[in-house]
Amino acid sequence: MKISAAVLAAALAAVPALASAWAPQINRETLAAAEIPAPPAPHKAIPKDGQNYSGAEELLIKEFAVTAVTLDVPEAEVMRQDGYYNNAFCFEHALRLSLTAILENYKNPTSPLARELAAMGALASPNKSQLRLARQRVHQALNKSGSLLAIVRPYKLNQPMNGEMVEKNWIFFLRLDGKSYWAVVDRSGETAPYVYGMN
């Protein structure tokens, strides 16, 4: 089959027109006009995400009904502290004791519960209903997406204000309503857990 010279010339003449329909010309103006979507906001790890130590997530959800707090409790760090230091009990029990202190201990006036009671005018001798309401408020603050619960690492961020050492204590940093707190659990179990915040 022979192609006539006229048909071939017409086909070749149409090539630039077809090529121009494939893609726009790339130059400074087309690059400046291109819209590039912004990167998505970083994903926060919460107990339901499964991105932290599963024992911490399970305890928060099942025992304390906390699902929205941002967590910083990596499994590698939990395993390191569990194996490296002298512990009378496991991480899960230390976290349980810490959360109990946060929700029940108001001896230190800078603790979350003491601050709630003081705001109600009931710090000196709260009755049962005042204690229940203050605990509900602390629990609600703990269960907000802006809150943070983190295991403290030695010589890293969020070191406790009173100088407690990770080598001797399980220490948890907590941010509630923009305020910083520390829950401290003696690894030997000889000292009762306690919680305090910045003055």
Q: Three-class SS of residue 104?
A: helix
Q: For 156-170, write each residue's pLDDT tens digit.
A: 889 999 999 999 999
Structure tokens at 18: 């077809």
Q: Which stretches of the chain score pLDDT less than 50?
A: 19, 41-42
Give the largest Cα separation in the chain, rounded: 106
What are the residues facing 182 on neighbouring strands? 173, 196
Residues in the chain: 199
Q: What is the CA radius of gyration of the chain?
A: 30
Spatial CA neighbour of 152 closest among 93, 94, 67, 66 = 94
What are the residues facing 176 on neighbouring strands? 179
Q: For 9-51, write each residue's pLDDT tens digit.
A: 665 565 555 545 555 566 666 656 666 665 554 456 777 677 8
pTM over 0.85: no
Residues 6+ apart with CB under 8 A from 39: none
